[in-house]
Amino acid sequence: MVVPATKPYITFKGAGRDVTAIEWHDRASDLGANGQQLRTYQTASVTVYANYFTARNISFTVLYSILTQLYI
């Protein structure tokens, strides 16, 4: 998810950090559409370029570590 610089004053508002989450699972070693590794900077769940961004009552979760623990 990308919040571009042209969209200032955006707020992500959840119902509580234990209730609302944005979850993502890309890894730096995953391959992109071009067949190359994504690398760390292309694996963010949320990228914000805009000024005055706020997030309230929401969690940002990386699922990779959770999934790895489940399947090892």
Please state, in angstroms and rounded to a whole number, the distance separating the CA atoms of residues 56 and 6.
21
Residue 39 or 5, more confident: 5
**pLDDT at position 50 over 60:** yes
End-to-end CA distance of the chain: 29
* Total number of domains constituting the chain: 1
Owning domain of residue 23: 2-71
Confidence at 46, pLDDT banded by 50, 70, 90: confident
CB 62 within 8 A of CB 45: yes
